A and B are shown apart, each in its own frame.
Chain A
């Protein structure tokens, strides 16, 4: 479609109407092509405020209706899987945490579980370490869902919810900072356990958070649920039923919003989730509204889980007893983040030569992992996060592949968008909650 300087145009029920104000008629009619004029191609992204990072969508439009949608990804590809093959097994944690940057604890835990399964030490992980993992994962799930709420709200025109969602998420990141030393990219969950114990002040903060959060959730619901614009933009929008979800490999809240209560924490439990009490929220409609409801309910379930995990925390070690695997130092938070504790440095440098040798060997060389391959999947905020790890028996991963839910779920976008309105592409895409860092890896 071209706009002419001579004729402004507008759509009516009868078709397109040109208002001619002089000039050459041929120039005006050349602007319209009766055969091909109906369709235009719009290139949305890679930089676009509502594509959750660098996602590019190519949309073929007929008026406001999307006829074809294609997504182009890879703009945030960082080669993490390749890089892992050149670092030792423990160093892997610092890489994988950067994949899906809204759910770093999940990336780390999936990786740690895979390495532990390869090592055959799954049963040796201490109870406290497992409980801390559950605690951290569920806090992370809340923060991830809060970002979803915030960004989706903003994309559909609700700016306040964006500010509120990020505000509460910051509280969780604060807790993470107290525990791990960093807001994001923690490298906290490591093969064999967790990097260090949870300090008491963090427990206090989490308790405060649990007290504050229900009120905030109520606030979000008051803001959005009864809001006619929010309802109009989400109900019956971007519908995907269970058949479609399973065929396209969609898991997580999107699948549950279509009515199937498939949650790996229940169906294929890990980290002792079978011993916790929580529900798997579902919704019958399979639309954006359903996904909103499911995610809000999941925040509540995660809070239940956090509370139970807190009650279960008993003093004890947070690393496996095997000194050939466990990181030699109890780490401590210094001014520049997490590092070896001063006592440990004093010991290896001043007192024990053997400790120094052991530290040096384990840190530079790393432990060996018996050859084999495993697949470990956990329920991340976006769905099944799977790690396929292969070892050749050396000190480095031979191959690690992440089955990233963002990557797989994004395939559903054409199925949701085609035939709908262009505005609903935004709602549908947002409801998938793709994180491009995870998608492109």
Chain B
């Protein structure tokens, strides 16, 4: 949880201190209160007006997995460890959650790891299904995460690689040389989150206009919107509506 702040937020409204017990105790990766989830009336707590605002919700934190992971995950890890000598340096954390394996990779190593993942005979992740960004504002120093979803068509396996960079130095190597399909997807991550993929052949905006300012899917980028009238009542734009944590 970010510490409560007296600094004015984007709207110039000072934010109230979070009441004790209203915090949710979510794990570091998952910020309990994002600016996106900030509702009407400057509410920062649970949004619960029933008088039970002190209720603490139990959340299962997501922790580093321990061996054995189960399924094919152990094989994947062992194969990568064997084929890639710098494994211990490159892999920050291994998480197994909801039947999915996530390898948190040091950003500067991501291209090397992808190369091994693609070429090693025991791994063979031939297809890079998806590359996308995610902004963990307030929960992670290196708040911009790049998420790669690799698919092995040979073994019918999937693995997620995640690399985190900071807003101040949002650089990591591009994987376009290994997976040409990452071309547009990296451009989208650049467009939406401002993540810079070094070595990308043509890192320009792809969905937003070329002269657009800012990176719209960052959490500190406002959604915007205008109030609308519906059956005589004025409805606030979505980012000003009440939200619940």
Which residues of chain A have a CB within 8 Å of any CB of chain B?
73-74, 77, 79, 81-83, 85-87, 117-118, 120, 246-251, 260, 262, 267-268, 365-366, 368, 370-375, 377, 384, 386, 388, 390-396, 398-399, 401, 403, 407-408, 410-411, 440-441
Contacts and interface: CB of A to CB of B under 8 A. Distances in A.
B100 A370 contact: no
A122 B106 CA distance: 33
A396 B243 CA distance: 8
14 contacts: A77-B207, A86-B241, A267-B156, A371-B59, A372-B97, A390-B30, A393-B32, A394-B245, A396-B243, A398-B34, A399-B135, A407-B184, A407-B188, A440-B207
Contacts of B153: 246, 260, 262, 267
Nearest to B97: A372
Interface stretch (B14-22, B81-89, B175-183, B226-234): B175-183
The winner among B32, B102, B181, B216 for most chain A CB atoms within 10 A is B181
B147 A388 contact: yes
Interface residues of B, number: 57
The winner among B129, B160, B223 for most chain A CB atoms within 10 A is B129
Nearest to A120: B98
Contact of B223 (A82, A249, A399, A440): A82
B134 A399 contact: yes
Contacts of B37: 392, 394, 396
Given A247-B181, A267-B156, A408-B184, A403 B149 contact: yes
Given A249-B129, A401-B130, A82 B179 contact: no
B30 A248 contact: no
Nearest to B182: A249
B147 to A, nearest CB: 6
A86 to B, nearest CB: 4
B208 interface: yes
Contacts of B181: 247-250, 408, 411
Nearest to B156: A267
A375 B158 contact: yes
Interface string B124-138: 001111101111000
Given A249-B179, A268-B156, A370 B216 contact: no
Contacts of A410: 184
Contact of B238 (A87, A370, A403): A87
A371 B36 contact: no
B130 A368 contact: no
A268 B34 CA distance: 34
A310 B135 CA distance: 43
B93 to A, nearest CB: 14
B104 to A, nearest CB: 12
A377 B151 CA distance: 11
A368 B60 CA distance: 13
Given A74-B208, A87-B238, A365-B244, A390 B97 contact: no
Contacts of A268: 156, 158
A386 B128 CA distance: 12
B198 to A, nearest CB: 20
Given A373-B102, A408-B181, 8 more contacts: A248-B180, A249-B179, A370-B59, A372-B98, A373-B160, A394-B37, A399-B217, A441-B207
B7 to A, nearest CB: 22
Contact of A372 (B62, B132, B208): B62
A264 to B, nearest CB: 10
B184 A82 contact: no
A248 B126 CA distance: 11
Contact of B26 (A73, A120, A390, A392): A392
A370 B244 contact: no
Contacts of A81: 192, 217
B30 A393 contact: yes
The winner among B156, B158, B243 for most chain A CB atoms within 10 A is B243
B26 A403 contact: no
A114 B57 CA distance: 23
Contacts of B79: none
B239 interface: yes
A388 B47 CA distance: 27
Contacts of A251: 127
